[in-house]
């Protein structure tokens, strides 16, 4: 009898083409859009550099050196301007920043002039991080020039200043010494929207389950001495397989489709067992949650509303829509209550950090407990209403 219950579920799934499209097309578009949109956020360059205008009464050697210093950075492209004001450059000529310097600003700086001032203008919607980066470049230029002048007066060799940057090395540490995958936007986007899409299994599950209750299908199955537990469990296996197909499909999109559109390539280590473990864990949690919603709601409209709203809230709290590292502290603490966050952090441990089972064990246990609670509540509600 259990075989025929599974056969019925697979038949219903294959007939619900619209729900299957939502499960595969929607996350694919999200992965493509977000991977391309956030590409520069994880790289050391920008496809379109930020335009910086340096304005002064007349071109000077110090101003030209400042422009050269700014242009050494991969994020900025500076030019000298004398024709336009700062407001005109920002809002008419589409400059991102304007730096106003005195004609002899280095001389004034060395003389410790009270009137010395360099002003950086930006648009109101400019990111503070980029403004801070530009300010630090200007400050570094001024500091280096003052130090060089001081060393020259003291007749000290200043070769160390010119090679200082090469002496500072940046190295990335991974939990696994054999894991050296560079973090990119696609490494972040694929796990995030994969978890989101797996939780949207709620739509086909709730549609079929509520229709079966309303049409009396469950009552007819129970009339031939089939208990509610096999009926509930039979809902898990077909959608579990759908979830695993989603995982493979989204990984292939990240590996082969995103690079075709100019994005980075999704790289995965040989830790396929960990990927399978996490995907099973997330699938179990998402299906159990979907069954609970399907038993709470009385109509498909209610299920779509409850499920859609709850999924969006869980995604927002779980770092799916907004990365966790940009959230304020209290929001980062709130992510601990979202099952999507448990799945996302587990995938990130595997895809980005080279983690082991010990690193995701807490999330696995939390998801399993969450799934068991949802299944128990779903069973109680189904038994009560039957």
Q: Is residue 200 domain-shared with residue 156, that is, in the same domain? A: no
CATH number at residue 70: 3.40.190.10
Q: Is residue 256 domain-shared with residue 294, that is, in the same domain? A: yes
Q: What is the pLDDT of residue 160?
A: 56
Of 62-76, 141-155, 239-253, where does mean pLDDT reach its minimum?
Answer: 141-155
**Alpha-carbon Rg of the chain, whole angstroms?**
29
pLDDT over threshold 90, residue 340: yes
- SS3 for 236? helix
Q: What is the pLDDT of residue 25?
A: 84
Q: What is the mean pLDDT of the chain?
A: 80
Helix (H) or strand (E) run with residue 80 in it: strand 76-81
Q: Is residue 144 domain-shared with residue 227, that is, in the same domain? A: no
The highest-confidence range among 116-120, 141-145, 208-212, by mean pLDDT, is 116-120
pLDDT over threshold 80, residue 156: no
Domain hosting residue 145, numbered range: 45-167
pTM of the model as a whole: 0.73
Residue 38 contacts residue 189 (beta carbons within 8 Å): yes
Q: Is residue 188 domain-shared with residue 110, that is, in the same domain? A: no
Within a domain: residue 10?
A: no
| Structural domain ending residue among the three candidates 109, 142, 167 | 167
- Sorting pLDDT into bands at 50, 70 and 90, what band is 364? very high
Residue 263 contacts residue 185 (beta carbons within 8 Å): yes
Q: Is residue 213 domain-shared with residue 249, that is, in the same domain? A: yes
How many C-beta atoms surround the C-beta of residue 76 within 10 A?
Answer: 21
Q: Is residue 214 domain-shared with residue 345, that is, in the same domain? A: yes
Q: Is residue 53 domain-shared with residue 153, that is, in the same domain? A: yes
Q: What is the pLDDT of residues 289-328, one digit of tens each?
A: 998 998 888 887 888 888 888 888 988 888 888 778 778 8
| Structural domain ending residue among the three candidates 140, 167, 194 | 167
Within a domain: residue 174?
A: no
Q: Is residue 37 domain-shared with residue 61, that is, in the same domain? A: no
How many C-beta atoms surround the C-beta of residue 178 within 10 A?
Answer: 9
Q: What is the pLDDT of residues 182-229, one digit of tens each?
A: 777 788 888 888 999 899 888 888 877 777 766 666 655 555 565 666
Q: Is residue 36 domain-shared with residue 57, that is, in the same domain? A: no
Q: What is the pLDDT of residue 2?
A: 46
Please state the domain count of the chain.
2
Within a domain: residue 152?
A: yes
DSSP state of 42: G
Closest residue by Cα to residue 342 from 277, 266, 267: 277
Percent of the chain with pLDDT over 90: 14
Per-residue pLDDT averaged across 17-35, rounded? 80
Within a domain: residue 139?
A: yes
């Amino acid at each position: 009898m259990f075989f025929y219950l599974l056969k019925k579920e697979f038949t219903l799934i294959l007939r619900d083409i619209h729900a299957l499209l939502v499960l595969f097309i929607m996350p694919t578009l999200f992965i493509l859009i977000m991977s391309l949109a956030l590409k520069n956020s994880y790289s050391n360059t920008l496809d379109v550099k930020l335009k910086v205008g340096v304005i002064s009464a007349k071109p000077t050697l110090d101003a030209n050196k400042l422009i050269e210093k700014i242009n050494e950075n991969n994020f900025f492209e500076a030019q000298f301007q004398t024709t336009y004001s700062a407001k005109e450059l920002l809002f008419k000529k589409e400059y991102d920043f304007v730096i106003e310097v005195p004609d002899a600003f280095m001389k004034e700086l060395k003389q410790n002039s009270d009137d010395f001032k360099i002003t950086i203008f930006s648009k109101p919607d400019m990111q503070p991080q980029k403004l801070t980066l530009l300010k630090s470049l200007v400050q570094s230029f001024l500091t280096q020039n003052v130090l060089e002048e001081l060393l020259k007066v003291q007749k000290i060799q200043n070769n160390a200043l010119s090679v200082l940057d090469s002496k500072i090395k940046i190295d990335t540490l991974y939990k696994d010494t054999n894991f050296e995958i560079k973090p990119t936007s696609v490494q972040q986007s694929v796990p995030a929207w994969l978890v989101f899409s797996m939780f949207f299994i709620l739509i086909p599950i709730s549609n079929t389950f509520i229709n079966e209750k309303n049409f009396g299908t469950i009552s007819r199955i129970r009339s031939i001495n089939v208990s509610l537990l096999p009926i509930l469990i039979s809902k898990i296996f077909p959608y579990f397989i759908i979830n695993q197909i989603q995982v493979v499909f989204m990984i292939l999109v990240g590996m082969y489709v995103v690079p075709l559109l100019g994005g980075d390539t999704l790289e995965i280590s040989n830790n396929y067992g960990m990927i399978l473990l996490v995907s099973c864990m997330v699938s179990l949690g998402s299906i159990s949650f979907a069954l609970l919603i399907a038993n709470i709601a009385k109509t498909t409209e209610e299920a779509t509303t409850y499920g859609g709203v709850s999924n969006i809230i869980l995604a927002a709290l779980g770092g799916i829509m907004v990365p966790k590292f940009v959230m304020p502290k209290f929001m980062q603490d709130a992510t601990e209550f979202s099952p999507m966050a448990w799945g996302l952090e587990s995938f990130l441990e595997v895809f980005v950090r080279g983690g082991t089972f010990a690193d995701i064990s807490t999330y696995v246990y939390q998801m399993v407990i969450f799934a068991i609670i949802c299944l128990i509540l779903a069973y109680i509600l189904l038994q009560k209403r039957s």
